[in-house]
């Protein structure tokens, strides 16, 4: 396929939605942090621009490459992801009570984010290669083990948020693979039972599965008035910021997020910056871009050349939907704080590059799918 054909089959609507979200991200990071570093208002925003540029370059490479090539490397990619996560426990420094990054000199490598991309590519291949056994419990359990192994390692870092992202991605892949509803309902029941055990039963027996700060976050979620000066501080300040934005926002008067009343203003709670700075109108504009993005991702799943592409596209749509619902929800106080970044907006190189890698995968699936559709149409006309 030549360059002209590639460009013609590119999903330009998806690209424009992505670029719109990236623009939101850089502007909001700048708005939140322009006073954080004396004499350098672009300190954080400039770094976000660098990660965005790197991510876009990787996205274009993945879009050009036929996604089937990744299928051949499924076990090598999966092994590398597991090994790199395990290395975090050996080489990773303790930051805020957890080990999540491996310092490489010029940047810190976060294996758990790369693992999200790898799970999407490798687990989809694992499932599709066993299509004949789709209705068997053996395959469903094997697939769960496939995703739970890296998720468990990430949970031990500890990073509950990313571990849940991996779990939801795995469920999304199973759903779009066509796994029996009985299996999915049983999985949901087991997850609910495990949550009850971890939060209620085991603590009564003197066994604590979650860390203290994770328990505090869940406690605050259940009762916003608990510990407003410490565990509940971020949520309280985020809700104040969003509520003060009104319909059109406070613009340069958005002091709640700009003057560090909200500590994690450019990462976990970036949506609060949107709400205070641009108000309800800005939040709706952001939601429209996300809706457009998700529509194109789901459309790509229906257009895919084969089941492998369809399962991956569906999984990607699932993981983006989950992240934006949780990230926005914890800002509004309707979801517990888990540290899940808002896709394309929250500051962070690893998450940004991973998200754009997933977009590149969507583009690769779309390009090959539209090509296959055109071939089928020509054959039908003949």
Residues 131-143: what's their mean pLDDT? 95
Report in angstroms the alpha-carbon separations of 321 from 90, 200, 211, 282: 33, 29, 27, 19
- pLDDT single digits (tens) 147-175: 999 999 999 998 999 999 999 999 999 99
Is pLDDT of 186 > 90? yes
pLDDT tens digits along 237-296: 888 889 888 998 888 776 777 777 787 888 899 999 999 999 999 999 999 999 999 999
Q: How many Å separate Cα 365 from the centre of its chain?
A: 19
CB 283 within 8 A of CB 24: no
Q: Quote the CA–CA distance of 140 and 209 in Å, as a whole number.
A: 26
pLDDT band at 232 (very low <50, low <70, confident <90, very high): confident
Q: How far apart are CA 382 and CA 380, in angstroms?
A: 5
**CB contact at 8 A, 31 and 258:** yes
pLDDT of the residue at 258: 72
Q: What percent of the chain has pLDDT over 70?
A: 94
Structural tokens at position 373: 């559709």
Q: What is the mean pLDDT of residues 199-219?
A: 79
Domain positions in the chain are 3-381
pLDDT band at 44 (very low <50, low <70, confident <90, very high): very high
């Amino acid at each position: 396929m030549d360059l002209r054909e590639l460009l013609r089959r590119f999903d330009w609507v998806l690209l424009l939605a992505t670029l719109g979200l990236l623009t939101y991200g850089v502007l909001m990071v700048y708005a939140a942090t322009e006073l954080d570093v004396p004499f350098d208002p672009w300190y954080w925003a400039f770094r976000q621009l660098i990660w965005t540029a790197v991510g876009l370059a990787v996205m274009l490479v993945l879009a050009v490459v036929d996604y089937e090539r990744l299928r051949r490397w499924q076990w090598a990619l999966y092994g590398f992801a597991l090994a790199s996560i395990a290395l975090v426990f050996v080489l990773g420094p303790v930051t805020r009570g957890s080990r999540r990054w491996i310092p490489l000199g010029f940047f810190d490598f976060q294996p758990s984010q790369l693992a999200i991309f790898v799970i999407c590519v490798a687990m989809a291949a694992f499932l599709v290669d066993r299509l004949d056994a789709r209705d068997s419990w053996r395959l469903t359990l094997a697939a769960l083990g496939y995703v739970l192994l890296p998720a468990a390692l990430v949970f031990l870092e500890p990073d509950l948020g990313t571990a849940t992202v991996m779990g939801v991605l795995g469920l999304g892949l199973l759903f779009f693979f066509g796994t029996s509803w009985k299996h999915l309902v049983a999985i949901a029941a087991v997850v609910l039972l495990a949550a009850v055990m971890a939060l209620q039963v085991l603590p009564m027996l003197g066994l604590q599965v979650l860390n203290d700060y994770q328990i505090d976050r869940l406690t605050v979620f259940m009762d916003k008035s608990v510990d407003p000066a410490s565990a509940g501080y971020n949520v309280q300040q985020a809700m104040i910021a969003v509520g003060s934005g009104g319909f059109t926002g406070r613009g340069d008067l958005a002091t709640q997020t700009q003057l560090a009343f909200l500590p994690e203003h450019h990462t976990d709670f970036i949506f609060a910056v949107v709400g205070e700075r641009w108000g309800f109108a800005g939040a709706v504009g952001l939601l429209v871009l996300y809706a457009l993005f998700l529509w194109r991702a789901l459309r790509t799943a229906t257009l895919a050349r084969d089941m492998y592409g369809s399962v991956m596209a569906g999984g990607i749509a699932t993981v983006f939907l989950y992240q934006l619902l949780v990230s926005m929800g914890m800002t509004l106080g309707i979801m517990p704080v888990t540290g899940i970044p808002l896709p394309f907006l929250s500051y962070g190189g690893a998450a940004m590059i991973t998200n754009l890698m997933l977009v590149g995968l969507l583009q690769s699936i779309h390009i090959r799918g539209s090509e296959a559709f055109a071939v089928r149409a020509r054959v039908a006309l003949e």
